[in-house]
Amino acid sequence: MDLKGKVVIITGASSGIGEACAYEFAKRGATVVLAARAYVKLCEIAQKIHDDYQVRALAIQTDVSIEEDCRQLILQTIGTFGQIDVLVNNAGISMRALFKDLDLEVLKKVMDINFWGTVYCTKYAINELINRGGAVVGVSSIAGFKGLPGRTGYSASKFAMTGFLESLRIENLKNNLHVMLACPGFTASNIRNVALNNDAKPQGESSMEEDKMMSSAEVAKRIVDGVVARKRTLVMTGQGKLTVTLQKFIPAVLDKLVFNHFKKEKDPLIN
């Protein structure tokens, strides 16, 4: 796919991987539509994109957990630009709490944003994307291949996203719709700072060493490369690829490796 002249919607575009994707798509000539709840920040990013890359950028305040917001996002994009070529379902939230301790509101919030946000946006964009031979991207996680301790809701939402997108791909094998699942490893961003604790409140401080993680800019570059090449699945780190392989062949061994990894994080939930 040549991105020049294409219209790309990115949810969760006010920070992290979403913001980095906005810059990367714009750098390659795409018109970008930025969706998130933080409207002022979106406008600042849109202005920077226009100034730096001389492409069009539109900010639309959107809470992807609200179906009507997602419908309006798609309608406003088509109304303004007349097309949609790529939908990047990036909006997401994490959580960190043992299932036995958490309020079920934690899982509801995570599923509403990570899974239902993807479903809502894709539903209202699907006909336009099929007509354009476009692409649907789901920014998932290795947590969508292997359940992680303290992240029951997050893993569940990413497993659900995987199943949804794989089904969508098969339904549209004859329609030239590109469906890609992007699975970064641990990425340096604020997702762990705003991860929900057992009371459904942001935990405030990351439990991991952020400076040792892949940058959001590198993740964005790989996602955009994957869209251009119409890749099926992107597993972006060696650790992630090993996890996927071990889960297929020796899952019980991987259970122990994952347990040992997470008991070493700051203020561990398991020991």
CATH number reported for the structural domain that contains residue 30 in this entry = 3.40.50.720
Residue 266 belongs to a domain: no
Count the domains in the chain: 1
> Which domain covers residue 160, as residue numbers?
7-238
pTM for the complete prediction? 0.93
Residue 195 belongs to a domain: yes
At 228, list the tokens. Answer: 């251009």
- Catalytic: 120? no
pLDDT at 82: 98
- pLDDT digits over 144-190, tens only? 999 999 999 999 999 999 999 999 999 999 999 999 999 997 766 56
E strand or H helix at 167, and its extent?
Answer: helix 152-171
Residue 1 belongs to a domain: no
pLDDT exceeds cutoff 60 at 40: yes
Q: Are 233 and 161 in contact (CB under 8 A)?
A: no
Residue 259 belongs to a domain: no
Question: From the candidates 23, 120, 124, 154, which is the catalytic residue?
Answer: 154
Q: How far apart are CA 120 and CA 71, in angstroms?
A: 7
Residue 253 belongs to a domain: no
Residue 173 belongs to a domain: yes
pLDDT at 186: 73
Q: Which residue's entry shows tokens 């993740």?
A: 219
Residue 164 belongs to a domain: yes
Looking at residue 113, the DSSP 8-state letter turns out to be I
> Crossing angle of helices 152-171/117-132, nearest 10°?
20
Closest CA to 83 of 118, 125, 38: 125
Residue 251 belongs to a domain: no
Q: Are 46 and 57 in contact (CB under 8 A)?
A: yes
